Structure formats: C-alpha cells, structure tokens
Amino acid sequence: MMRLILLALGMGALVAATALPLGGCASTPKATDGAVALKLRAMQTRAFETGDINKTIRTAMATLQDLGFVIDNADAQLGSVTASKLDKYVIKMTVTARKRGESQLLVRANAQYNVTPVEDPQFYQQFFTAFSKAMFLEAQEIDPAAPGF
C-alpha cells in the first residue's frame, strides 16, 4: 500500500483542489545559475512511498486531465507523461517518476509557459496538492467518481 512521505491528506474532493491559477507563472529570469536550478528542481520534485511506476504515471495522467491538460505523450516504461494546456496561453507540463531505493519514487513536474520555465512555487505546490490527494485515494482504493464520495 502506498503511504505518502509528505503528509497525511484528508478525504477532500480531488476536483476542489484542481484549479491552477496561472497568473505570474512565467517569470523572466532564466534558470541558468546553479543555485537557481537546484531551487527550481526542489520545487518540482516530491518523494512518494511507492514502487509502482505504472500506477503513479496513471495517477499523474488523471491529475493532469483533471487540471485541464490534454495528454500529448505517455510512456510507462520511461515513467514519463507530457501534457499541454491551451487557454489564452500555452503551458506544457512533463511529469516523470523514477525509483529512489526499493520503496520510493521521486516524481518531478516540469512546466513551461511557451518556452520559459515556470518558476512559480505556488504552481508546483498546487499541482502536487492535487496529485498527492489522487495518490492517497489510489492507495486507499477509493474511487472519487463512486456514488456517495
């Protein structure tokens, strides 16, 4: 069973946390400095206590779709899914999952506004809040579409 490393999440409706406001997502500084790149990577990455890459990628796909993205490409063997969102802007998001030890996966979400990396920590926090809830529901084998949920 999957347990989240982050924090135990309550049983809220996944849809309630799925709105990603994009105001201020594109920032002008480039992530070329080593310290800036490390900070950006830390914002983009979370650890989950599961070894199931396929289930994690399926959950990432569902989360992206819930957030209004259209899946462009998914490869469970590579542990990668890429999606786009078009609504007065073009935002592309790639989510990758890779093993960390025997029982953990590192999940990284990398977003670009046109060709500029999204450096807004709130953008990634909102994605991972929705994703963490979906992982929790998946681990508990709870279907949010089931009657009475």
pLDDT tens digits along 42-66:
899 999 998 899 999 999 999 999 9
CATH class of the domain defined by 3-7+27-139 = alpha beta
Q: For residues 95 and 109, is the Cβ–Cβ distance under 8 A?
A: yes
Specify which residues 92 forms β-bridges with.
84, 112
What DSSP line would sit under 71-111, residue for residue? EEEEETTTTEEEEEEESSSEEEEEEEEEEETTTEEEEEEEE
- Tell me the CB-side half-sphere exposure of residue 71, using CA atoms within 13 A: 16
Please tell me the predicted confidence (pLDDT) of residue 40: 87
What's the chain's average pLDDT?
78
Reported confidence tier of residue 37, pLDDT bands at 50, 70, 90: confident
Give percent of the chain with pLDDT exceeding 90. 50
Please tell me the predicted confidence (pLDDT) of residue 60: 95
